[in-house]
Structure 1
Amino acid sequence: MPDTTASLHARDDIPRGIMLMILGALLVPGLDAAAKMLGERHAMPAGEIALLRFVLQSLMVFPFLIGREGWQSLRIQNVGLNLFRGVALGVASFLFFLALKNMPLADATAIFFVEPMIVTLLSAVLLKETVGWRRLTAVFVGFLGAVIVIRPNFVALGLVATLPLMTAALVALYLVLSRHLSGRTSPLAMHFYAGIGGSVSMLVICLVGTQAGIAELGLEVPRGAAVWGLLLTTGLFATVAHLLFIQAYRLAPASLLAPFGYFEIVSATILGFLLFGDMPDAGKGIGIAIIVASGVYIAWRENRLAARRSSLSPERG
């Protein structure tokens, strides 16, 4: 993958990127909670939930894309890579929704938190970003906090615990590609094409799964206001959160933003308690505090570095 980091850093606005990343991370568990309710309480197949999430995502963003940027916005560079982002995210969504039907929301989220480590490593390898020991330390400290929150037990959960791990790898690839492509395509167009890629890939997977008789890949007509309300919630939360992510990755390096993904555990724990009765304990409070502290430390340090760079650069008249 070509090195685009130098050109991207000219537009970096690290504090804004961090803020947008945190907001997006806090919203994602809302999408996951709606998907879990669809699977657990309405017996909707995980594949169909993922498919309809991407269809609705594309439908929601399309009017804004055309209204703000015109029909010419559909002609973008790197169409294949933008669609591939959607394929990766589509398969990731299916795997995570399948996991949510079999385990608590916060547990799945905690296991998923190997994703920032993978983002940090991929951004160094593919984007040639410089990743210092402090940033790596923050990633591992944040992950330690996530483990303390949930203390996931792979023996108790079994093979289903590997589903969030596979999700993490695919989402990390999606995010690194977002950083790579963000300087060339508008956030709305990137989100639209990711939705198309996710929709097409999940439709093919579901059609094949239906023919093979795989229950979690079956297709059925959604019925009832509650089901449609939850489906619209998945589309809305996905649209808003991922637009925030795309904009964040336009403003700051992928490896820097990675630790702030841990903020998902905050809203995941709250929603798990409110919607599914997963009672938080003192250990979870300690873990959340560690997660927040690691994110605050990175934000504080990057602001210091930005101020130092600004003071060393020549003034412009």
Structure 2
Amino acid sequence: MPEKMQPHVKGMVVMMGAMLILPMMDAVGKWLAVADNLPPATVSFARFLIQTLLTLTILWAAGGLKVLKSRNLGGNLIRGVLMGVASLCFFTAIKYMPLADAMAIFFVEPLMLTLLSALILKEKVGWRRLTAVSVGFIGTLIVIQPSWELFGWISLLPLGTAVLFAVYLIMNRKYAVDDSAMVMQLYAGVGGAATTALVMVAGEYLDIADMRLGLPVTSSPWALLFAIGALATVGHLLVVQAFRLAPASVLAPFQYFEIVMAVLIGLLVFNDFPTPSKWLGILIIVGSGIYVFMRERGRTAEAEALV
């Protein structure tokens, strides 16, 4: 990135990078649940376990025990619990629903995030940002509108993911001041792995198929389980870094780029070709993000001119 790029703009660029990576993780999770018949709980546990092992290895190599210390250990573990439950909800949803459908429901989250950033973090959120987020949300509804009749209670799971993820991102902004992105991801991974492990124990006891431990019988699913953990690690490190650089309300519209990537993956991997109305929605989503990006860059330039 150019050296003169301001933190807010850097944060937006980093956030867009994360939104390109995370749908790949979701697609791998769907493939493992549908093609390899792995329970969503197993996929979620592998995602957090591998995240924990990868970040622990990197941190240990960087400085040993001293760099593992967190100033907000409890808060970061809670972040992991939130993500653990959110992951269970979403991976279960996409086992039964098209990826773009689940993503469309999930994308009430940026609107929640913008509102929560004003209520909890006391960030200033003007009418232009709120409008950009709302327009982006309308775009997601145009892309696809899942209904209760088609999916029943399963359609509520991405909504639960949205609520949990919004709170998780607010906590990212709060704790990123004191801890590095790697340390935050390490303990979020620990919290997520512990949560999904407990759910699998309960799933075995209650005989809930989607919440049980299921071991792959061939090498290919093992490789994909590692891939999902690696993609999650990189994607969420970028998310944490973005929230270190820019306010939550500025980053919220850029989350809509995730559904753009999800639709493209659905086309390439699952042969779900978008209709003209979906492409219209994609254009609206991209436009809302570009508007916030250009406006923030313009405000930065004006501020520099006054110095």
- Residue number in structure 2 paired with 1:37: 31
Distance in 2 (CA, whole Å) between partners of 1:150 and 1:290 is 13
Q: Distance in 2 between matches of 1:269 and 1:136?
A: 24
Q: Which deviations, in whole Å up to 9, do the C-alpha atoms of 1:82-120 show, x marking residues without a partner?
A: 000000001000000000011000110111000101111
Distance 1:39 1:302 in 2: 40
Amino acid at match of 1:273: L
Q: Of the candidates 252, 262, 285, which is equivalent to residue 256 of structure 2? A: 262
* 1:9 aligned partner: none
1:94 is matched by which residue type in structure 2?
L
CA contact (8 A) 2:14 2:241 kept: yes
Deviation string 1:256-284 (CA, Å, 9 cap, x unpaired) is 10110000111101111111111111111
SS in 1 for 2:33: helix
Query: 1:90 — aligned with what?
Result: 84
Aligned to 2:299: 305
The aligned runs of 1:221-232 (5 Å cut-off) are 221-232=215-226
Distance in 2 between residues matched to 1:19 and 1:264, nearest whole Å: 13
Partner residue, 1:198: 192
SS in 2 for 1:167: helix
Q: 2:120 aligns with which of 126, 148, 152?
A: 126
Q: Deviations over 1:212-232 (max 9, x none)?
A: 111111113232121112111
Cα RMSD, aligned residues only: 1.1
Given residue 155 of structure 2, which amino acid in structure 1 is its aligned partner?
A
Deviation at 1:70, TM superposition (A): 3.2
Query: Which whole-Å CA distance do the structure 2 matches of 1:196 and 1:166 have between them?
Result: 21
Aligned position for 1:55: 49
The unaligned stretches of length 5 or more in structure 1 are 1-11
Matched with 2:129 is 135
Q: Which amino acid in 1 is paired with 2:269?
A: L
Aligned partners of 2:94, 2:65: CA distance in 1, in Å? Answer: 38
More divergent stretch after superposition (131-140 vs 302-311)? 302-311
In the TM superposition, what is the alpha-carbon distance from 1:152 to its structure 2 partner? 2.3
How much does 1:22 deviate?
0.6
User: Percent of counterpart pairs with the same letter?
Assistant: 46
Q: Structure 1, residues 115-170: CA drift from partner, whole Å, max 9, x if none? A: 10111111111111111111011111001111111132333222111100000000
Which residue of the other structure, out of 160, 166, 174, is the alignment partner of 1:166? 160
* 2:38–2:215 CA contact under 8 A, matched in 1: no
Q: Report the counterpart of residue 170 of structure 2 in structure 1.
A: 176
Partner in structure 2 of residue 288 of structure 1? 282
**Residue aligned with 1:97, SS:** helix
Q: Deviations over 1:31-80 (max 9, x none)?
A: 00000011111111111111111001111121111222432111111100
